[in-house]
Chain A
Amino acid sequence: MTVSHDVLSHGVLSRDVLVVGGGPAGLSAAARLAAAGLTVAIADEQPELGGQYFRRPSPAVLRAHGDHRPEGGRLIARVRELGVDCLTGHLVWGVADDGRTLFATAPDGAAVRLRARHVIVATGAYERTHPFPGWQLPGVTTPGFAQHLAAADGTPVGRRVLVAGSGPFLLPVACSLLDAGAEVIGVAEAGHPYTPSLRATAALRHPARLRELAGYMARLARARVPIWQGRVVTGASGDDSVSAVTLAATADPSRPVGTFAVDAVCVGYGFRPQTELARLLGCEIRADAATGDAAPVTDAFGRTSRPGVYVVGEAAGIGGVHLARARGRLTAAHILAARGGGDRREIVRLAARTRALGRFTALGEALYPSPAALQDALVSALPDETVVCRCEAVTASDVRAAATDRAGGDLNAAKSWSRAGMGPCQGRFCGFAVAGLVRAARGGERGEPVFPARQPVRPVPVETLLALGEQEPEGDAA
């Protein structure tokens, strides 16, 4: 949607609240704040609201199968009815020198400035990927992409598909692929989460989680889809697209245990918070010891080190859709209370729910290998010739050489010398491996978990920058 011109004055949109990201977290916050009478705008680069979890099915899928997540459709409808300005197709890519004005690009390339008293960053997460020889071949995708293709577009990513990586998300993806008509040749899980073990018994106290996982596993068993545990993808091959994939034991990735004919491979190791905008806004971040990821420092209400800037949902830490929504609502309730409105009991209730959901997430995570452990296991076995940075085609040996010889074990210097992380994805998909390679060059000592955030957070058309130069603001403060 393009915003009508009466909404914008000189390319500037000012509201009480700006929400960046129209996923479950951002929508939940926006709905609560708009219902209380605040003026709210949501910007999202997707063509429709919903984010990842509430991604809207195509009209054809809706007609044929109905809405698989109707609560998402209801939430979006409510946000629109409440008069929230929905700037879909708007990429928010930078922050002005004043540290408060955000820059966005409209679908037609026009430059838009966004200002608000309260800025809620709800930019969600992206998938944790780890390179292997051939992962850059067409037909090798993230599990999330296969999920969207199947659930939202009714299109199987391939006819014969391997799903691999680690984490609970692989199971629903495999089930969605079956529903879309694909043959799933197997699910390869790097860890051993699905054996009764000491760690797993903790999940028994959470029957809901167990029931959900058990449901997916029953579906896979009925379709005779094997779940291989302790297995990782170590190679893919093909000409113009993938035709074969190789598995090895997680404990010994250099020794292949099997090669399979496929026409698509979906590999992912869970999710990482998308924190670039929060960092550009000056929010303090810290490295999470368990995941090795960067997470903004937030309190229970989503407040950051920058007054008036909040981070909610998976941008603040991975925890699933229910936690994302609860965090969005809690931040909204806190903003209302801080403005002298709101309802104390609502805050107490939401804070308790957020804490409980957080514990629930931690229990689930304990079943799977920690990302830091995976990084250790996978990085040392990474063959030298593997393309690590997809964008700039930088190999593992390039990164190893840069990290050891020239960068002195510094992540950002290794990036400058090797060019890994300098392409359009800005190191989001190679960053986990590059950090692991640099860490290995340092003898295992931990350092910066992610590349520094850069502006623009995604490539921006030149016409946007030109337009921005032409409409310099004339003292139009929020």
Chain B
Amino acid sequence: MSVTRITVDGEPVDATAGSSLTAAFVAARRWRLRDNPVSGEPRGPFCGMGVCFECEVTVDGRPGVRACLTRVVPGMTVETGAPVETGPPSVGTRP
């Protein structure tokens, strides 16, 4: 069967291998993936197509990964929330 285990914020979560990572979050009712850096309000995936960046998570140590463009791979480790400080930041969107 394609049901597999991934780790989200240190907890085991059931997911379907090859489905989108956002589907795993939605199925587990884990909507809150990050807080808005300006207002601190909770945010979750919005567009499902790579445009809004509200689904950015850290996957296997790589920060700034859009969950909606990522497929579930067995054993993958995901951290939600603000990117880990050690990772390279993204540039180009702030003046």
| Complex contacts, B53 vs chain A, CB 8 Å | 391, 423-425, 458-459
Q: Is the pair A137, B90 in contact by a Cβ cutoff of 8 Å?
A: no
| Complex contacts, A425 vs chain B, CB 8 Å | 51-53
Q: Is the pair B23, A149 in contact by a Cβ cutoff of 8 Å?
A: yes
Q: Is the pair B36, A393 in contact by a Cβ cutoff of 8 Å?
A: yes
**Least Cβ–Cβ distance between B39 and chain A, in angstroms:** 4
| Complex contacts, B16 vs chain A, CB 8 Å | 58, 60, 153
Task: Encode contact with A along B36-63: 1 for CB under 8 Å, 0 otherwise.
Answer: 1011011111111111111000000000
Q: Which of B39, B47, B54 contacts A127 (CB 8 A)?
A: B47
| Complex contacts, B51 vs chain A, CB 8 Å | 126, 425, 428-429, 458
Scan residues 417-431 of chain A and give those whose CB is less than 8 A from a CB of chain B.
422-426, 428-429
Q: Which of A142, A241, A387, A456 contacts B47 (CB 8 A)?
A: A142
A428–B25 Cα distance when bound, in Å, is: 24
Q: Is the pair A149, B26 in contact by a Cβ cutoff of 8 Å?
A: yes
Q: Which of B42, B43, B47, B93 contacts A429 (CB 8 A)?
A: B47
A422-B91 contact in complex given A58-B23, A126-B47, A141-B47, C-beta closer than 8 Å: no
**Least Cβ–Cβ distance between B24 and chain A, in angstroms:** 8
Q: Which of A46, A145, A241 contacts B69 (CB 8 A)?
A: A46
Q: Is the pair A155, B27 in contact by a Cβ cutoff of 8 Å?
A: yes
How many residues of chain A are within 8 Å of chain B by beta carbon? 55
Q: Is the pair B47, A461 in contact by a Cβ cutoff of 8 Å?
A: no
A155–B38 Cα distance when bound, in Å, is: 31
Which residue of A is nearest B19, CB measured? A58
| Complex contacts, A429 vs chain B, CB 8 Å | 46-47, 51-52
Q: Is the pair A422, B95 in contact by a Cβ cutoff of 8 Å?
A: yes
Task: Encode contact with B along A43-58: 1 for CB under 8 Å, 0 otherwise.
Answer: 0011100001000001
A136 at the interface (CB under 8 A from B): yes
| Complex contacts, A144 vs chain B, CB 8 Å | 47-49
| Complex contacts, B26 vs chain A, CB 8 Å | 149, 155, 157
**Least Cβ–Cβ distance between A239 and chain B, in angstroms:** 8
**Least Cβ–Cβ distance between B12 and chain A, in angstroms:** 18
Interface of B is mostly: loop
Scan residues 73-90 of chain B and give those whose CB is less than 8 A from a CB of chain A.
88-90
Which residue of A is nearest B87, CB measured? A461
| Complex contacts, A241 vs chain B, CB 8 Å | 31-32, 42, 44
A241–B64 Cα distance when bound, in Å, is: 22
Q: Is the pair B49, A145 in contact by a Cβ cutoff of 8 Å?
A: yes
A459-B90 contact in complex given A138-B42, A141-B45, A141-B47, C-beta closer than 8 Å: yes
**Least Cβ–Cβ distance between A210 and chain B, in angstroms:** 29
Q: Is the pair A461, B32 in contact by a Cβ cutoff of 8 Å?
A: no
Max chain B Cβ within 10 angstroms of own Cβ: one of A148, A155, A240, A455: A155
| Complex contacts, B27 vs chain A, CB 8 Å | 155
| Complex contacts, B94 vs chain A, CB 8 Å | 422-423
| Complex contacts, B88 vs chain A, CB 8 Å | 461-463
A71–B44 Cα distance when bound, in Å, is: 32
Q: Is the pair A136, B41 in contact by a Cβ cutoff of 8 Å?
A: yes
Q: Which of A45, A58, A390, A393 contacts B50 (CB 8 A)?
A: A45
B10 at the interface (CB under 8 A from A): no
A77 at the interface (CB under 8 A from B): no
A328 at the interface (CB under 8 A from B): no
Which residue of A is nearest B88, CB measured? A462
A58–B73 Cα distance when bound, in Å, is: 12
Task: Encode contact with B along A8-45: 1 for CB under 8 Å, 0 otherwise.
Answer: 00000000000000000000000000000000000001
**Least Cβ–Cβ distance between A430 and chain B, in angstroms:** 11
Task: Encode contact with B along A69-92: 1 for CB under 8 Å, 0 otherwise.
Answer: 000000000000000000001000
A393–B38 Cα distance when bound, in Å, is: 6
| Complex contacts, A460 vs chain B, CB 8 Å | 90-92
A-B contact pairs, 11 of them (CB 8 A): A58-B20, A138-B32, A145-B46, A149-B48, A153-B23, A155-B23, A240-B42, A424-B53, A424-B93, A429-B51, A461-B64
- Those 8 A-B pairs whose CB atoms lie nearest each other, nearest first: A138-B44, A145-B48, A138-B31, A153-B23, A459-B90, A58-B19, A424-B53, A393-B39
List 17 other contacts, CB 8 Å, given A390-B54, A426-B93: A47-B69, A58-B71, A63-B2, A138-B31, A144-B47, A145-B68, A148-B48, A149-B23, A155-B23, A155-B26, A157-B26, A240-B32, A241-B32, A391-B36, A393-B41, A454-B92, A460-B91
